[in-house]
Every structure is written in structure tokens, then in C-alpha cells.
């Protein structure tokens, strides 16, 4: 995930937010607005549209998102996809009311939330334009996208601990990579929220440092291989290296 803290308005400047529905096989969308935007109609546009529930990600909504993504993926005119919410909420998480009475057997047996992964498997670039709450599943949903453009009022968090559960759609993994282990653990263990600005700063401070540490370890590890010795020796001896994958 790359997180850019700038006005989502910039991104959406050329995009009219007038609700337009594109019909799909089986009828219109109930929980999202779907359109193709831009002069060349080459930007797939999905707006989460459950304002009364702060775009809580109920099963129906996520099924529709999957369907819209499939449609855009297959549409040769479409080069990139934007997913957005409202000024108040990108999404306030998975739908707690829908989850409230689920049993372990239902979750495990039905592989609950597995279909959300569609967002991260789309081949075309997917951009999340986030303002307001991006909490729990909302934060995870945004992090599944390739790029996040976050507005000034964006707030990210994984408050599942406050519900007696844990992130269930990749939050513990993607947040760690996005903002570093320390802040990710703090957010997951406290349920606190951070602004886009704080997330961006942490991304640079922590992830880069951790990435560098890993890179250094892997670099050092190459010194345990014969091929590294052969490559450097071949350079010094002005000949082509004979690598043996050892």
C-alpha cells in the first residue's frame, strides 16, 4: 500500500460525483454507485453508498464491489479503478450488526470474508480515495488497494479489539507493512485511530527502516553463496561469471 496524504478532491476534481448507476446482469447495485469517468471513460469508479451505516461493509455491499471489479477488469476501455466513500466515511468497518450473531462454525466453515480478497487480486491499478473513517474492515479494504489518496479528514484504525475480536481481512499484515510493526501493534492493541498525516510519517519512518534492515540481512546472506564469490571474482578477473545457483 502506498499512502499519499493529499486532498481526495484533487483526484476527484475531474470526476463528477453525480450518482449514476450502471446496470449489471441481475439488476442495479443497491449499496454502491458505479460509473465510468474521465473524458475517455477509462476510469472505473465505485462509490460506497450506505450513508446511514457509514458505509459499513455488509455482505451485499462487498459482493457488489466484487461484481463491479469483475466488470471493470473485463472492460478493455478501463485502465484504472477508483474506490471511494463519502466525506464522513470511507467505511466504518465490516457490518457489526451482521456479524453479531455469527457462530465460529459459520465463520470457519464458510471462510467468512474470503471474498473480500477480490479487491487485492484485480490486475488493473486500484486507487482508494479515502476521507473520514477508514476503520476495521474499512482500513483493511483501503489497504488492499494499490494506492491510497487520503483527504485531510481521513482517520485510519483497527478498533476490532474494542469489539473483542481482531482484524480479519489482512489488517495485522498490511498495516504492519504500511506503518511499521510498532505503530501497527499500537493501533491493533489499543483501537486508537491515526490521521492520514500520521500514517504517512510512520510509513516513511518505520517501514523504510525495517525494509532496510531486511535488505541488509539478505545482502549479508549472499556472502554465504558460491555464486556471490564467483560473480565478484569474475569481475575482478575480467571474465564472464559461471553461476551455478549455489
- Phi and psi for 84 in degrees, rounded to 5? -140, 175
26 is catalytic: no
Q: Residues 34, 160, 178, 200: which binds ligand CAA (CB under 6 A)?
A: 160
- Residue 241 lies near ligand CAA (rule: CB under 6 A): no
Stretch of 22-30, 50-58, 76-84, 119-127 contacting ligand CAA, by CB under 6 A: 50-58
Q: Rule CB under 6 A: choose which of 3, 33, 48, 56 binds ligand CAA.
A: 56
- Is 242 noted as a catalytic residue in this protein? no
Q: Which residues of 56-71 are buried (b: 16+ CB within 10 A; e: fewer)?
A: bbbbebbebbbbbbeb
Span from 7-15, 167-175, 178-186, 219-227 in contact with ligand CAA (CB under 6 A): 167-175
Q: Which CB sits closer to ligand CAA, 44 or 85?
A: 85
Rounded-to-integer distance, Cα 132 and Cα 115, Å: 25
Euclidean distance between the first and the last CA atom of the chain, given in angstroms as a whole number: 34
Residue 96 within binding range of ligand CAA, rule CB under 6 A: yes
CA-based torsion, 64, 150, 56, 143: positive or negative: positive
Matching residue, cell 463519502: 86
How far is 244 from 96, CA to CA, in rounded Å?
Answer: 55
Q: Is 151 in the site for ligand CAA (CB under 6 A)?
A: no
In the complex, which residues of this chain contact ligand CAA (CB under 6 A)?
A: 53-54, 56, 92-97, 113, 133, 135-137, 140, 159-160, 163, 167-169, 171
Question: Which residues are known catalytic residues?
Answer: 94, 137, 140, 160
Amino acid at each position: 500500500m502506498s499512502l499519499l496524504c493529499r486532498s481526495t478532491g484533487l483526484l476527484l476534481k475531474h470526476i463528477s460525483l453525480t450518482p449514476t448507476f450502471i446496470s449489471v446482469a441481475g439488476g442495479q447495485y443497491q449499496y454502491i454507485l458505479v460509473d465510468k469517468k474521465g473524458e475517455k471513460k477509462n476510469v472505473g469508479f465505485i462509490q460506497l453508498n450506505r450513508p446511514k451505516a457509514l458505509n459499513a461493509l455488509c455482505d451485499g455491499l462487498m459482493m457488489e464491489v466484487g461484481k463491479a471489479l469483475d466488470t471493470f477488469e473485463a472492460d478493455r476501455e478501463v485502465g484504472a479503478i477508483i474506490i471511494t466513500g463519502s466525506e464522513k466515511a470511507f467505511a466504518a468497518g465490516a457490518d457489526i450488526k451482521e456479524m453479531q450473531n455469527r457462530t465460529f462454525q459459520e465463520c470457519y466453515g464458510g471462510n467468512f470474508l474470503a471474498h473480500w480478497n477480490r479487491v487485492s487480486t484485480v490486475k488493473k491499478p486500484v486507487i482508494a480515495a479515502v476521507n473520514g473513517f477508514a476503520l476495521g474492515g474499512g482500513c483493511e479494504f483501503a489497504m488492499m488497494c494499490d494506492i491510497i489518496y487520503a483527504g485531510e479528514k481521513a482517520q485510519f484504525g483497527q478498533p476490532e479489539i474494542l469489539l473483542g475480536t481482531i482484524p480479519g481481512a489482512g489488517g495485522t499484515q498490511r498495516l504492519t507493512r504500511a506503518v511499521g510493526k510498532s505503530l501497527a501493534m499500537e493501533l491493533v492493541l489499543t483501537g486508537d485511530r491515526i490521521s492520514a498525516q500520521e500514517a504517512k510519517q510512520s510509513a516513511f519512518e518505520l517501514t523504510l527502516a525495517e525494509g532496510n534492515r531486511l535488505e541488509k540481512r539478505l545482502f549479508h546472506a549472499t556472502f554465504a553463496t558460491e555464486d556471490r564469490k564467483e560473480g565478484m571474482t569474475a569481475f575482478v578477473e575480467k571474465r564472464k561469471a559461471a553461476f551455478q545457483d549455489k
